Chains A and B, each alone.
Chain A
């Protein structure tokens, strides 16, 4: 049943957000600390546990894969509801602070990536389907420019 997969996903998110809120209260901050990340860990654990197998295979898996495939459209809707005007109107200081933070952080990615065990580059998108149901990429696109 598709709804089983969707329900498992929902349960993971709610549980993760709840733990994240509790963590935030515990640390005394007005934010959810890692709720979504905890939810993702729960889903990863559930999908590799024998007991949950009926919830993550067959039709139930389609319930999770559907939302996985809807992810990019959701991000497009998110982009369309950002306060872009405020970002542009924030003036030079806001622009510089934002741009500089991004540039410096970009530059640090290869520096920090060098530490710890390395993982192999993912195969090109068209030669591997990656996670089933996740690739909705027509044509030849190797991953941006």
Chain B
């Protein structure tokens, strides 16, 4: 037994391939048998992943889901930023330049609209919960943009650490909800073509959420959504501690 654990732990990435492969296989079985194919296998796989992460986080007290379980540490490498970005870029292979051109302008508009709208929503909820200082309102609003924009903004304008933690939590909620919710609402919001996928990526912005949500909806939409989403966090980090903070400070 000890020998087996040693082998599994020493070959983390390989273990991750095997474990994720089994998870995906079970998910497609569940999709076919339990939902008659109505819920996409990859959506089930992503939800199983999130559920495993919740369970692991409750057991270990760590912040990185199943990665905090020694034998599954390789999942962190497989699902980390490096492999995620490599995978996302590879999906652009076969993308049509004509489709990108079509959504060019509206894609850019959607990125600005996405950052501003999410910020306003987050800031309003901060106010509704009794926050009255510009730093806290801005930081929580920035957290509703993405979980990277929140702490970057909060640190830059000197928000308290518990408010920064809240902003991260808001961003993580957003990211997870986009992963789970996208396949459920895709039909109702017309998310079935490259152009709307680019608008979607620009409005949502959370790279993990968009990547997961579109993968569970239709993998062919991923490159279009990811293309705009990757500019969102940068724009958020640019606007959060500057113009958005100044506007909030002028208002309160």
Contact = CB atoms under 8 A, between A and B. Distances in A.
Interface residues of A, number: 97
A102 to B, nearest CB: 5
A110 B63 CA distance: 35
Interface residues of B, number: 137
Interface string B65-85: 111000010011011100111
Contact of A36 (B89, B95, B113): B89
Main secondary structure of the interface of A (DSSP, over half): helix
Nearest to A126: B37
B20 A77 contact: yes
B90 A68 contact: yes
Contacts of A130: 94, 219-220
Interface string A56-70: 100001001101101
Contacts of A50: none
A118 B195 contact: yes
A2 to B, nearest CB: 13
Given A74-B79, A83-B57, A131-B220, A115 B65 contact: no
Given A87-B169, A106-B185, A72 B42 contact: yes
Given A23-B234, A105-B118, A37 B228 contact: yes
A71 B230 contact: no
Contact of A82 (B50, B109, B113, B194): B50
Q: Among the interface residues A33, A74, A125, A140, which one has the most CB atoms of the partner chain B within 10 A?
A: A74
A77 B122 contact: no
Main secondary structure of the interface of B (DSSP, over half): helix
B29 to A, nearest CB: 10
B53 A84 contact: yes
A40 B223 contact: yes
Interface string B38-71: 1111110111111111101110000111110000
Q: Among the interface residues A37, A97, A141, which one has the most CB atoms of the partner chain B within 10 A?
A: A97
Interface string B202-220: 1110011001100111111
Contacts of B166: 90-91, 93-94
A109 B208 CA distance: 18
A1 interface: no
Interface string A75-106: 11111111111111111111111111110111
Given A34-B231, A81-B65, A101 B91 contact: no
B133 interface: no
Contacts of A97: 121-122, 125-126, 140, 143-144, 170, 173-174
A101 B118 contact: yes
Q: Among the interface residues A16, A81, A99, A120, which one has the most CB atoms of the partner chain B within 10 A?
A: A81
Given A13-B85, A99-B177, A134-B220, A105 B203 contact: yes
Interface of A: 9-10, 12-13, 16-17, 20, 23-24, 27, 29-37, 39-41, 43-45, 47-48, 56, 61, 64-65, 67-68, 70-102, 104-110, 112-113, 115-122, 125, 130-132, 134-135, 137-141, 143-145
9 contacts: A77-B16, A78-B49, A84-B53, A86-B168, A86-B169, A87-B176, A90-B165, A108-B113, A109-B199
